[in-house]
Amino acid sequence: MEHSILGSKIDSNRPVVALTFDDGPGLVTSHILDLIQVYGGKVSFFVLGKYVEMNRTKIHRAWGMGCDILCHSWEHVNHTEISKKAVSKQIIDTCTAIASVTGEFLPLYRPPYGEANKNLAKLTEKLGLSMVNWSLDPKDYDTSDATAISSFILDNVVDGDVVLCHDVYDSTGDAMGIVIPSLVSRGFQLITVSELLYRRYGTLEPGVLYNN
């Protein structure tokens, strides 16, 4: 299935932001897709491999809309605290699961908890994956207050931010109902994290951790 990211155009005169969602697909993935279908743009999902098979329809839909489906891990364990063999399996199994739905996987990976070290850098370099974290964290995992989440994002977001959220909380879904239309009304273009990084850096280096 072709990814509709191909041929997408970004207006260099308008600000961009990459909304990213970890740990799903989950409770509000479909709601987020509904919002971007109405308001335009694309977002990125860093998925857990163990949830891929049961959410094939959501992933198929997101990919067809041009969203990124990216590797997070199989079961969200800290990849700096387990063996190299175990980390490799977590990553490879997740990428394989993604490719079983989309037909391919994009070479970007977000380490669980954003934790990376030299061993992980060497492994991801060997696997041909670049790592990416974020520049803005509303800590939606620490609060169920949708207004607090949305206010933090809207009060702090700047051109080029990568925003960390999670599509597994109802409050995040409610916050996105405020954030997405507000960002669009401000003139922000909602682009994927892969678009943002390739636009900023060109070819990404495997094994390198990009924070935004």
79 among known catalytic residues: no
Rounded CA separation 155/51 (Å):
33
Label residues 10-26 b or e (16+ Cβ within 10 Å = b).
eeeeeebbbbbbbbbbb
Tell me which of 22, 68, 167, 174 is the catalytic residue.
22
Sign, CA dihedral 39-44-48-53, equals: positive
Q: Do the Cβ atoms of 5 and 194 come closer than 8 Å?
A: yes
Rounded CA separation 113/63 (Å):
24
CA dihedral 10, 100, 124, 84 (to 10 degrees): 150
Which two three-digit tokens encode residue 76? 């969200």
3 among known catalytic residues: no
Sign, CA dihedral 152-144-113-60, equals: negative
Amino acid at 10: I
Tell me which of 3, 140, 166, 167 is the catalytic residue.
166
Q: How far is CA 27 from the centre of its chain?
A: 16
Q: Exposed/middle/buried for 211, CB within 10 Å: 0-12, 13-18, 19+?
A: exposed
Catalytic residues: 22, 166
